[in-house]
Amino acid sequence: MAETLTDKLLLNRWFKTAMGEDYVEWAVQLLLRGEDSPSLRVLAGLNPNLERYEVEPNFLETCDELNIRPLPPDCNPRSVVPLIRRLHRSNLMSAKEALDKMSELYEASEFSDPLLGLWFMVRDDYAPELGEEIDRWVEDAWPFYDRAQVLELPQDFPKFVGCDHCGHIGMPVPWNKLNPPIKSPIGADARPKETVMPYVCAVCNTCPARHIGHFGILEKYLSRFNS
């Protein structure tokens, strides 16, 4: 429990949303759970209205004494993922919050990390149907994250779609680039608000293809790296 309390503070600290009172409350809770060190005692007694920068020096001393390694502000956003995962796995963070935090990590990577981008796209409704089962999606997404983190994914990976018709997985054809017009069972009147939805396979022009956030598509895509 003390570990998840620390995870939560470290996470909020990294995102710069932790306030002075969060540090003090953390220290109090740790003392109540039997942790102890000179700086922890001092931190627990500080005025909760202090600014973050005022409590930081004491916090860093406490970390040193308790063997806690706070994440450097400029670390790779992927280093933050284990905190999010542990909080989610411990039921201290909802699936929705985990999805939000992972998406914020993608933003923190300046939209450069395709693996984090997958979460961002799912949050941003690139696959609206997945949003309806977000608890299960997040739960099932962690093992895929582990598998994919060792791979060099292409930059466009978060926008990929898979075609059940021809098996192609890649960037979809945007609606406005379709010529001749789409072979769609949906009909021209059902044109969606987003130009990328529903997705059209770039190889066989079949619609709809499914976003790579669907684990069936993702599984097929990742398995190609093994062969």
Cβ count near 3 (within 10 Å): 10
Mask: binding to Zn ion, 86-125, rule CB under 5 A, as x and -? ----------------------------------------
Task: Tell me the window of 13-21, 24-32, 165-173, 175-183 that interacts with Zn ion (CB under 5 A).
Answer: 165-173
**Which CB sits closer to Zn ion, 147 or 165?**
165
85 binds Zn ion (CB under 5 A): no
201 binds Zn ion (CB under 5 A): yes
165 binds Zn ion (CB under 5 A): yes
Dihedral of CA 126/129/132/133: which sign? negative
207 binds Zn ion (CB under 5 A): no
* Nearest to 156, CA basis, from 100, 102, 202, 189: 202
* Nearest to 23, CA basis, from 55, 61, 66: 55
From the number of C-beta atoms within 10 Å of its C-beta (0-12, 13-18, 19+), residue 86 rates as middle
Q: How far is the CB of 166 from Zn ion (least distance, A)?
A: 3
Judged by DSSP in three states, 175 sits in helix
Task: Tell me the window of 8-16, 68-76, 123-131, 199-207 that interacts with Zn ion (CB under 5 A).
Answer: 199-207
Task: Tell me the window of 54-62, 102-110, 134-142, 166-174 that interacts with Zn ion (CB under 5 A).
Answer: 166-174
Question: How many amino acids of this chain bind Zn ion (CB under 5 A)?
Answer: 8
Strands 210-211 and 169-170 come out as unpaired
Judged by DSSP in three states, 81 sits in helix
**Which CB sits closer to Zn ion, 19 or 202?**
202
148 binds Zn ion (CB under 5 A): no
The whole-angstrom separation of Cα 75 and Cα 92 is: 24
210 binds Zn ion (CB under 5 A): no
Q: What is the identity of the amino acid at 86?
A: R
* Nearest to 83, CA basis, from 13, 30, 8: 8
**Which CB sits closer to Zn ion, 171 or 203?**
203
168 binds Zn ion (CB under 5 A): yes
Binding site residues, Zn ion, CB under 5 A: 163, 165-166, 168, 201, 203-204, 206
